[in-house]
Amino acid sequence: MAVIEIKNVAKRFGDYQALHDINLTIADQEFMVLLGASGCGKSTLLRIICGLETATEGEVWIGGRRVDHLAPKDRGISMVFQNYAVFPHLTVFENIGFGLRMQKLPNDEVKRRVERTAELMHIEQLLKRYSGELSGGQRQRVAVARALAMEPDVILMDEPLSNLDALLRLEMRAELKGVLAESNTTAIYVTHDQVEAMSLADRISVMHEGRIVQAATPVEVYRNPAERFVAGFIGNPPMNFLPANFVDGGKWQVAGQTYDGPAEANGPVEFAIRPEDIAPSDMGLPAKVRLVEPLGAHLLVTCDVDGAMFRAVLESDLQVKVGDLLALAPQADRIRWFDTTTQLAIA
Amino acid sequence: MSTLYGKSEKRKVSRIGLLQAGEGRGLVHPVDEGLNEGFDSVDHAVCNAAAFAYPKSFVPEFDLGSLTFFAGFAGILTALKNSVIVAAMTMVMSIAIGAPAGYALSRFDFPGKSLFRLLILLTRAFPLPLLALPLAVLFIRTGLDDTAFGLALVHTTLAIPFAVLITFSLFSGIPIELEEAVWTLGCNRLTAFQKVVLPLILPGITASAIFAFVISWNEVFAAAVLTIENRTLTAFLLQNLDTSPLHLKFAGGFILVVPALIFIFAVRKYLFAMWGIANR
């Protein structure tokens, strides 16, 4: 039960500016994912919210209370770490109950809450084990259970699934989403995995070089990237970019073809389209096929359009081979335009 | 050196005592009255002959005679007690000072960190004989001479580099996330340390403590220079064995080796870890 407000937070490590003037409001019970490549400052931001790191400037408010001078234990948060941080000298039961014991809750209350969260995470049969006897996935469950048992206002997760193998990650992801939706806590989740971010988030904050470049719903981030960086980062493969030349009256010429674009030209502009929003047709961007990668349901075709690399996801029953010349038609309502100078999307 | 002390009387007495005791049987000197109980039970001539015999037999004779003699030897129990007291004090002090330093080295970044690490090792760069004279003078002035505490201070100085480096590697072996997790679960730095770090590090701390114990136990130079009446076992044996027959020297050496061997055996895993040889 808490709104998180981050106001003008900046962090410097010596000369290195890790975070620039971050402003972000996370609604009560919202699942917010901080997404970015490594070194973008997403973990630093999480650690500032947690209290493991202090901001050089700015304020952090949780539930209407300014917390940046408080120790982590007084912020009403709990955290799940990337390498689980399950205490090796305690049983699973004592691990989950650790925070409750620190709150000096009566024994039967500790027992009740430990058993309930253990059941939630499907580890009730492991309560007497030690961390050394658990697999990675089980340890991660213990770590999540330990955070949930605290019944925190806010739960913070720092790449909690990145140490798990692919299948387990998929399974835990779905489970985590269900458990957190039921727990009524606000969640902040740090990841570099965009699929994880897409599937979990109510809202994604895409971070780049210490800034939040876009904070929006997963679909919005995917469909309408606010910056060229987001367009080139989200999606697998990401958006294609081609230089565009202004003709007039909102018409733009891209690789010899003309498309409707921004009404006016203020400096150079780029045309952008997602690989899956392209279909072969009679009229379209002239593309020379360089590489064909069958992906099962689709073909990933890498082409050369006007000297630039251009990728298209096409139907797998299409007969395409290297060296073919294709005409690729972009779906008109999915075309996006970016200002090359400011890197921002043009509405 | 003896002019520094003014207490050398006792030392002389005991040395003469042992001289007589040691030469007692072999050289048919009259035996000192006070020292010959327990002495009579050992056939020193036989022992001595075995010690000098050449070639040695492959199957050594087994005779606890010399050891029994030692156990009954005047002053040996006091010396043993002194050794234990000094070693125990060294153990406590070196951990009390060394472990926080090790923690700081592993957890905090501070200016001059690498220099500090080097300086810790430098405390072992000065040979004790070089320090002995100024130390002795200082100790006499401050009244620390001939006390277990004074000697323990010197031994602590010798043991601290190891205590710091061992605990540094131990603390570094505990992921910082464990501590951070405890902080988010309702602990401050101190309680976090008590609840999580300490239980995890305790075996290693014990090993490091035992190591300090061994260092103190084996140390002879400072002990010989800085104590007169409160001699530790090593200093006592060094002083007395000087003039003893060979088989008693061997027995004395054996007595010294055994505890150190046991201790080293007990902490071998951590010594290897410290030297970067994986042994787990």
Each residue's pLDDT tens digit, B231-241: 888 888 888 77
Could you give the 3-state DSSP secondary structure of residue A13? strand
A-chain CB neighbours of B185 within 8 Å are 73, 78, 98-99, 102, 146, 150
State mean pLDDT over B13-33.
38
The pLDDT-based confidence of B203 (bands split at 50, 70, 90) is confident
Q: Which two tokens stand for residue B114?
A: 């690498």
Which run of H or E residues covers position A157? strand A154-158
Looking at the partner chain, which of A71, A85, A103 has a beta carbon nearest the beta carbon of B181? A85
pLDDT above 70 for A230: yes
- Residue A328 bridge partners (DSSP): A280
Best of A16, A46, A67, A73 to disrupt the B interface by mutation (most B CBs within 10 Å)? A73
Q: Smallest CA–CA separation between B120 and chain A, in Å?
A: 28
For B139: left if phi > 0, alpha if psi spans -120 to 50, otherwise beta; the answer is: alpha
State the pLDDT at residue B19: 39
Alpha carbons A69 and A50: distance in angstroms, whole number: 11
* CA distance, residue B179 to nearest chain A CA (Å): 8
Which of A48, A79, A101 to mutate against chain B (most B CBs within 10 Å)? Answer: A79
Cα separation, A248 vs A269, in Å, equals 14
* Residues sharing a CB contact under 8 Å with residue A36, sequence separation 6 or more, in sequence order: A42, A192, A206, A207, A208
Q: Among B67, B134, B123, B132, which Cα is nearest to B97's?
A: B123
Q: How do residues A135-149 score in pLDDT, each as one tens digit?
A: 888 999 999 999 999
Domain ranges for chain A, please list them: 4-230, 237-346
pLDDT at B18: 39
Tokens of B236: 């006592």
Minimum distance, in Å, between the CA of residue A73 and any CA atom of chain B? 4
What is the arithmetic mean of pLDDT over A23-49?
93
**Cβ separation B185–A146 shorter than 8 A:** yes
pLDDT at residue B202 in the model? 83
Predicted pLDDT of residue B47? 62
Three-state SS at B43: coil
**Range in A108-117, A179-188, A209-218 with the lowest mean pLDDT:** A179-188
- Interface contact flag, A85 B191, Cβ < 8 Å: no
With 0-12 CB in 10 A as exposed, 13-18 as middle and 19+ as buried, what is B178?
A: buried
Q: How far is CA A180 from CA A83, A126, A147, A292, B24, in A?
A: 20, 21, 11, 41, 87
For B219-231, how does the pLDDT look when each residue is reduced to its tens digit (9 = 90+)?
Answer: 888 888 888 888 8
A 10 A CB-CB count for A242 gives 18
Q: Inter-chain contact A73–B180, Cβ cutoff 8 Å?
A: no
Q: How far is B188 from chain A (nearest CA, A)?
A: 8
pLDDT confidence bin for B42, thresholds 50/70/90: low
| Amino acid B268: pLDDT | 72
Say which of A79, A88, A103 has its CB closest to residue B184. Answer: A79
**What confidence tens digit (pLDDT) does each residue in A98-138 have?**
999 999 999 999 999 999 999 988 898 999 999 888 988 89
Pull the structure tokens for residue B81.
């007690």
**How large is the average pLDDT for residues B237-262?**
77
Helix axes B148-172, B128-142, angle to 10 degrees: 120
Confidence of residue B45 (pLDDT cuts 50, 70, 90): low
Alpha helices in B24-109 (DSSP H): 44-52, 65-72, 76-107
Question: Selecting from 3.40.50.150, 1.10.150.170, 3.40.50.300, 3.50.50.60, what CATH number does the domain A4-230 have?
Answer: 3.40.50.300
A131-140, B209-218, B227-236, B265-274, range with the lowest pLDDT: B265-274
Q: Does B6 touch chain A (CB under 8 A)?
A: no
What was the pLDDT predicted at B51? Answer: 67
Average pLDDT over residues B94-102: 92
Question: Which residue in this structure is represented by tokens 């987001």?
Answer: A230
The dihedral through the CA atoms of A65, A69, A74, A79 has a sign that is positive
Using pLDDT thresholds of 50, 70 and 90, give the confidence band for residue B145: confident
pLDDT tens by residue, B63-81 = 777 777 767 777 778 888 8
Which region, left, alpha or beta, applies to residue B229 given φ > 0 means left and ψ of -120 to 50 means alpha?
A: alpha
Which of A68-77, A202-211, B24-33 is the least confident region? B24-33
Tell me the mean pLDDT in the region B48-57.
Answer: 69
Would you list the domain boundaries of chain B? 74-274
pLDDT at A28: 92
- A56-83: b or e for each residue (b if 16 or more CB lie within 10 Å)? eebebbbbeeebbeeebbebbbbbbbbb
- Contact of B109 with chain A, judged by CB distance below 8 Å, is answered with no
- The chain-wide mean pLDDT, for chain B, equals 75
B238 reaches A (C-beta below 8 A):
no
Query: Angle A275-A276-A278 (CA atoms, 0-180°, nearest 5)?
Result: 75
Rg (CA), chain B: 23
CATH 3.80.10.10 fits B74-274, yes or no: no
Interchain CB distance below 8 Å, B175 and A73:
no
Q: Which DSSP letter does residue B194 get? A: I
pLDDT, tens digit, 9 for 90 and up, residues A238-283: 999 999 988 888 889 898 888 988 888 788 999 999 999 999 988 8
Residue in B178, B185, B200 nearest the CB of A78: B185
Q: Measured between beta carbons, which residues in chain B are less than 8 angstroms from residue A71?
A: 183, 188
Alpha helices in chain B (DSSP H): 2-5, 8-23, 44-52, 65-72, 76-107, 113-122, 128-142, 148-172, 176-184, 189-192, 198-218, 221-226, 233-241, 246-274
Of the listed ranges A185-199, A204-218, A317-331, B10-24, the least confidently predicted one is B10-24
Helices (H) and strands (E) in chain B, counts: 14, 0
What are the structure tokens assigned to B257, written together? 């080796």
pLDDT value of residue B44: 61
For B64, other C-beta atoms within 10 Å of its C-beta total 11
Rounded CA separation B266/B280 (Å):
14
The answer to whether B276 contacts chain A (CB < 8 Å) is no
B162 residue type, one letter: F
Look at residue B48 in the predicted model and tell me its pLDDT: 64
Alpha-carbon distance B243 to B221, whole Å? Answer: 18
Range of weakest confidence among A74-83, A281-290, B114-123: B114-123
Query: pLDDT for A288-322, tens place per residue?
Result: 999 999 988 899 999 999 889 999 999 988 888 89
**What interface predicted TM-score (ipTM) does this complex get?**
0.81
Res B43: pLDDT: 58
Identify the CA nearest to B75 among candidates B250, B278, B232: B232
Measured distance CA(B80)–CA(A303) in Å, rounded? 86
The three-class DSSP label of residue A274 is coil
Crossing angle of the two packed helices B76-107 and B198-218, in degrees rounded to 10: 140
Subunit contact A72:B183, Cβ cutoff 8 A: yes
Q: Is A214 helix (H, G, I), strand (E, B) or coil?
A: strand
pLDDT tens for A57-69 read 999 999 999 998 8
Query: Which pair of tokens denotes residue B249?
Result: 């020297």
* Prior bond of B55 cis (ω within 30°): yes
CB contact under 8 A, A73 and B187: yes
Q: What average pLDDT does range B41-47 have in this prediction?
A: 58
Q: Quickly state the pLDDT bin for B49 (edges 50, 70, 90).
A: low
Contacts of B199 in chain A (CB under 8 A): 89
What CATH number was assigned to the domain covering residues A237-346? 2.40.50.140
